[in-house]
Amino acid sequence: MSNQTEADGGLVARADAVASFEHQHTILSRIQHALHSNPALVPLIVLVLSIAVFGALLGTKFFSSFALTLILQQVAIVGIVGAAQSLVILTAGIDLSVGAIMVLSSVIMGQFTFRLGLPPAVAVACGLAIGTFIGFVNGWLVARIKLPPFIVTLGMWQIALASNFLYSGNETIRAQDIEASAPLLQFFGQSITVGGAVFTYGVIFFILLVLVLAYVLRHTAWGRHVYAVGDDPEAAELSGVNTKRILMSVYALSGLICAFAGWALIGRIGSVSPTSGQFSNIESITAVVIGGISLFGGRGSILGMFFGALIVGVFSLGLRLLGADAQWTYLLIGVLIIGAVAVDQWIRKVSA
């Protein structure tokens, strides 16, 4: 019976407080929490700091609305491709074929106009459709055939790039010819000027695309499902998300966005050149990673990618204006990539 008494004694001595976790509200853990709930915060801080530092070092040459909007123009193509890449990476995938889809789409827009004589609007529509189709094939292979995204898009990268060279015969369509007979192809190259700031339609499209995707990802069922699939596909499946359909829609949308990037590319360089965009896949992954989107999927924000792309642009132009060897840009971007992933790992510990 003494056992019973002891147990009663234990009951009397029990804690009255409701069960709770212990929080240590150190400054560091607060920062960790803030970063965890706002994944775009780190790249934003880095961006603001780098603009401030280069602005202080270079003065008005760098810190002018003209130079700053020029950076936007320089990163717009990689940024648009980066938006496509972000979607795929959020599902814990990776898309190595983004650049190849972009170039192939731009070549199709150009060659359909100049070789087949289609009206530019139809040619552009064909380019967009083919980009979407290639993306859809990627998604189908990943979702239905269950092939790893890395392998699928590695293969598709080669296929799209080879098709691009085979179909175009590596023939460049000159800017002057496009301007004369199919100015629609250069649509994204037009610009509006506000004060010293120059916004090309390509830049405006890039910004709108990021804002729309940020809204869709955060506030629509489809967007939440993209995160869910990336975070834990089994759990998502069990809670009634059609993961296959989500994956296929993500890859198809990624293809469509890459095709738009191809259209914007024609506006940027004036001509249709089958050799451009060779490194877009790596550059877009760089922007995504520096932007704090987790390569393990399910975490990060597309605004982060936007800041990530801008950080690369700010460093490139800033260092060049300082007269530094271009190698320094690559070196610093390498440091940023590793730094970004290290910060990402640290933030992840908040939930552990």
Partner 1 sequence: MNKLLIGTALCLAAMSPAMTPAVVAQEVSACLITKTDTNPFFVKMKEGAEAKAAELGITLKSFAGRIDGDHETQVAAIETCIADGASGILLTASDTSAIVQSVQQARDAGLLVIALDTPLNPIDAADATFATDNFKAGELIGKWAAGKLGAEAANARIALLNLGISQPTVDVLRNQGFLQGFGIDLADPNKWGDETDPRIVGHDVTAGNEEGGREAMENLLVKDPTINVVHTINEPSAAGAYEALKSFGRENDVLIVSVDGGCPGVANVKDGVIGATSQQYPLQMAALGVEAIKNWADNGTKPEPTPGKDFFDTGVSLVTDEPVDGVESIDTAEGEALCWG
Contact positions toward partner 1, by CB under 8 A? 61-62, 66-67, 70, 73-74, 77, 165, 169-172, 174-176, 189, 191, 198, 200, 265, 268-271, 273-278, 316-317, 320-321, 323, 325-327
Best CA proximity match to 75, nearest among 340, 307, 325: 307
* Burial status of residue 165 (CB atoms within 10 A of its CB: 0-12, 13-18, 19 or more): middle
CA distances from residue 97 to 42, 170, 205, 210, 312 in whole angstroms, order as listed = 28, 19, 21, 20, 21
Distance CA 193, CA 205 (A): 15
Give the distance, in angstroms, between the CA of residue 22 and the centroid of all CA atoms in the same chain. 37
Residue with smaller CB distance to partner 1, 117 or 323? 323
User: Which residues are paired to 191 by β-bridges?
Assistant: 200
- The sign one gets for the Cα dihedral 299, 302, 306, 312 is positive
Half-sphere exposure of 181 (CA within 13 A, CB side): 12
Q: How many residues does the chain have?
A: 352
Residue 172 DSSP SS3: coil
Q: Are the C-beta atoms of residues 91 and 293 closer than 8 Å to each other?
A: no
| Integer Cα distance of 255 and 129 in angstroms | 9
**What span, in angstroms and rounded, lies between the C-alpha atoms of 102 and 106?**
6
Helix or strand holding residue 226 (H, E): helix 221-231
298 and 232 Cβ atoms separated by less than 8 Å: yes
Closer residue to partner 1 (CB): 91 or 164? 164
CB of 32 vs partner 1, minimal distance in Å: 38
Query: What does DSSP assign to residue 16?
Result: -
Beta 197-200 vs 191-194: how paired, if at all?
Answer: antiparallel
Contact between 50 and 311 (Cβ < 8 Å): yes
Helix and strand totals (H; E) in the chain: 15, 2
